[in-house]
Amino acid sequence: MMCSIQITKGLLDKYGPDRVLDTPITEAGFTGIAVGAAYQGLRPVVEFMTFNFSMQAIDHIINSAAKSNYMSAGQISVPIVFRGPNGAAAGVGAQHSQCYAAWYAHVPGLKVLAPYSAEDARGLLKSAIRDPDPVVFLENELLYGESFPISAEVLDSSFSLPIGKAKIEREGKDITITAYSKMVGYALQAAEILSKEGISAEVINLRSIRPLDRAAINASVRKTNRLVTLEEGFPQHGVGSEICMSVVEESFEYLDAPVERIAGADVPMPYAANLERMAVPQVDDIVRAAKRACYRAAPMAATA
């Protein structure tokens, strides 16, 4: 529960040392302790400095937290939140840049949220903490520094967002782009570029990776008939694969083009800035994929 990024700044003064605790850098130990406290009915919020380190504690997240309610036939509920930055930062290399959305969203018994805007962060975190089940809350280090306009309603202390509901960030009629976290911003930029070329893109901010808002995604695809899935993580078995399958299962006849998947490159994250740029999706990649789905001639590879 240490953080050099200071998300928890001020909380110690406000809530005291009984409730805001610095831990040693021992994820397996402190995560297990937090899950045990949750078994007893406390509501811990565990911070991983990044989700790369959650792998040291993943047995507790999955076997001790996610599965307990089912295995105990409802006797044990685990109202815990695991939060922290997820995905690529800038120049931190292969061991510090992985996106874990697909890994955790795979597991029954977990809820997985990925906020984009300040409104998302505030509303979803409150719901996550109030939720009686384990929630993995995937933030993004580069988004911490971004500012978002916010309404008075969002600033109200009772504001919260429901888990499992996506948000249509931008309405469109020609193509659907699904995204989460930092990629939502990129998708919005791509949509702006596409609109100047006569393609009206609908951008869905997933907000919730598990449960996925399949209804919203399918309703959008039924309207636009074309889909691009966008994520920063590795492509194989990623979030986009699940979204594609959901659309195939529920809205196959509505598709006018194959589903396009944009993901990070299938390599451990390189360090050099130019290589790193090529290893994560850029706005150009999104524009190109959208045009492909609309049968506009466009070169395939990122290097073209």
Pick the closest to residue 204 from 292, 120, 303 (CA basis).
120
Stretch of residues binding another protein (CB under 8 A), selected from 20-28, 89-97, 114-122, 168-176:
20-28
The total of other beta-carbon atoms located within 10 Å of residue 242's CB is 18
Sign of the CA dihedral running 235, 238, 243, 246: positive
Q: Please, what is the minimum distance in Å from the beta carbon of residue 7 to another protein? A: 21
Is residue 96 part of the annotated active site? The answer reads yes
Query: Please, which residue, 63 or 189, has the CB nearer to another protein?
Result: 63
* Number of residues forming the site for another protein (CB under 8 A): 31
Backbone angles phi, psi at 137, to 5 degrees: -115, 105
CB of 32 or CB of 235, closer to another protein: 32
Residue 41, number of CB atoms within 10 A of its CB: 9
Which residue, 30 or 137, is less far from another protein as judged by CB?
30
CA distance 164 to 83: 17
Q: Of residues 27, 119, 242, 260, which has the active-site annotation?
A: 27
Nearer to another protein, 72 or 95 (CB): 72
Residue closer to another protein (CB basis): 17 or 198: 17
The yes-or-no answer on residue 27 being catalytic is yes
Binders of another protein in range 30-89 (CB under 8 A): 30-42, 59-60, 63-64, 68, 70-73, 75-76
Which of 47, 60, 96, 119 is flagged as catalytic?
96
Shortest Cβ distance from residue 15 to another protein (Å)?
13
- Minimum distance from CB of 109 to another protein (Å)? 12
Q: Give which of 279, 212, 215, 263 is closest to 242, Cα–Cα.
A: 212
* Cβ 179 vs Cβ 205: under 8 Å: yes
User: What does the block give as tokens for 73?
Assistant: 């036939």
Q: Does 18 bind another protein (CB under 8 A)?
A: yes
DSSP strands (E only) in the chain: 45-47, 81-85, 111-113, 135-139, 167-170, 175-179, 201-205, 208-210, 227-230, 260-262
Contact set with another protein (CB under 8 A): 18, 21, 23-24, 26, 28-42, 59-60, 63-64, 68, 70-73, 75-76
Q: Which residues are catalytic, by number?
A: 27, 96
